[in-house]
């Protein structure tokens, strides 16, 4: 009679065979050792063989799964939430004066590369022109791969901290101007503050007759580390000024003529 056993249980098969040699009884036991034992006996006794199929071992984690990536050792960074990840990211950028930019986002996966690395999509229209400042692209290999997984709040990160350029204050001029600094400059420009005056405010040299206008942006943080604001140049402020002017709608002194010109362009 055959009985169906659950897949998790072992299967035992019993075969009754005649003795191959007179006076020999061979038995294969189902114990974990599975050693053979030779027992002297009568030739009339059949040969009993027990074959035991033990439970299959735990299957290996699927490639790309949480357990697989954790056991691989490649994802050495762990965070319990996105807030903790963002805090670590800010601390890492501030400590080394680098910039990690989000360049690609897939399902449950994000890729950050150094501001001086990655592929450059912009193609120069006039490559023969000389620039006052050279490009900041250096093909830096620094990157951070962040992955989320279903069923857990733990976030794993694979961080390659390899740079082909100097770190610290030397690298600050090649990073982007922080958003809060750009908003501070734009606010002063909308108050009709001269760009050269804003530059002195950022660099700490203010006029004696500034009055109520104060520098609300410090060049150093609480730990005394130099920030990006100290390396801002006049051309950076003028670039922000052009962006503000582009938002302004300019009409012809004769509004009727201006409307006719606009209709012709439709």
Could you state, in order of their start, the residue ranges of all structural domains in the chain?
A: 11-53, 66-121+130-173, 179-247
pTM confidence score: 0.57
Could you tell me if 165 and 171 are in contact, meaning their C-beta atoms sit under 8 angstroms apart? yes
The confidence score (pLDDT) of residue 14 equals 44
| Residue whose structure tokens are 């439970």 | 55
The confidence score (pLDDT) of residue 192 equals 92
Nearest to residue 157, comparing CAs of 88, 215, 214, 259? 88
The confidence score (pLDDT) of residue 198 equals 93
The confidence score (pLDDT) of residue 182 equals 92
The confidence score (pLDDT) of residue 19 equals 42
The confidence score (pLDDT) of residue 24 equals 41
Which contacts qualify for 77-81: CB closer than 8 Å, 24 or more apart? 77/144, 77/156, 77/157, 77/158, 77/159, 78/154, 78/155, 78/156, 78/157, 79/154, 79/155, 79/157, 80/153, 80/154, 80/155, 81/153, 81/155
Query: What CA–CA distance (Å, rounded) separates 109 from 104?
Result: 8
Task: Sort 70 into a burial class: Cβ within 10 Å, 0-12 / 13-18 / 19+.
Answer: middle
Query: What CA–CA distance (Å, rounded) separates 70 from 205?
Result: 52
Query: What CA–CA distance (Å, rounded) separates 100 from 148?
Result: 19
- Spans of the chain below 50 pLDDT: 1-5, 7-39, 206-213
Could you tell me if 137 and 120 are in contact, meaning their C-beta atoms sit under 8 angstroms apart? yes
Sign of CA dihedral 125, 131, 136, 139: positive
How many of the other CB atoms lie within 10 Å of CB of 259?
12
Question: Can you give 97-137 as a three-state secondary structure string?
Answer: CCCEEEEEEECCEEEEEECCECCCCCCCCCCCCCCCCCCCC
* Tens-digit pLDDT profile for residues 80-112: 999 999 999 999 988 888 888 888 887 778 887
């Amino acid at each position: 009679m055959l009985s169906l056993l659950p897949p998790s249980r072992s299967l035992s098969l019993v075969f009754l065979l005649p003795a191959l040699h007179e006076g020999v009884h061979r038995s294969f036991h189902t114990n974990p050792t599975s050693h053979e034992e030779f027992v002297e006996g009568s030739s009339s006794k059949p040969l009993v063989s027990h074959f035991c199929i033990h439970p299959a071992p735990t299957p290996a984690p699927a490639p790309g799964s949480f357990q697989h990536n954790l056991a691989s050792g490649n994802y050495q960074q762990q965070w319990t939430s996105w807030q903790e990840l963002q805090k670590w990211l800010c601390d890492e950028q501030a400590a080394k004066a680098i910039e990690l930019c989000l360049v690609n986002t897939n399902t449950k996966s994000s890729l950050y590369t150094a501001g001086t690395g990655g592929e450059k999509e912009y193609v120069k229209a006039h490559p023969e022109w000389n620039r006052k400042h050279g490009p900041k692209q250096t093909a830096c290999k620094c990157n951070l791969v962040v992955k989320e997984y279903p069923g857990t709040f733990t976030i794993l990160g694979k961080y390659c901290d390899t740079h082909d350029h100097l770190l610290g204050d030397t690298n600050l001029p090649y990073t982007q101007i922080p958003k809060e600094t750009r908003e501070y400059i734009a606010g002063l420009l909308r108050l009709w503050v001269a760009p050269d005056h804003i530059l002195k405010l950022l660099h700490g040299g203010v006029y004696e007759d500034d009055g109520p206008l104060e520098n609300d942006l410090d060049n150093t943080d609480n730990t005394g580390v130099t920030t990006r604001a100290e390396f801002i140049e006049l051309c950076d402020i003028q670039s922000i000024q052009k962006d503000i002017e582009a938002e302004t709608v300019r009409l012809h002194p004769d509004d009727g003529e201006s409307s006719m010109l606009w209709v012709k362009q439709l």
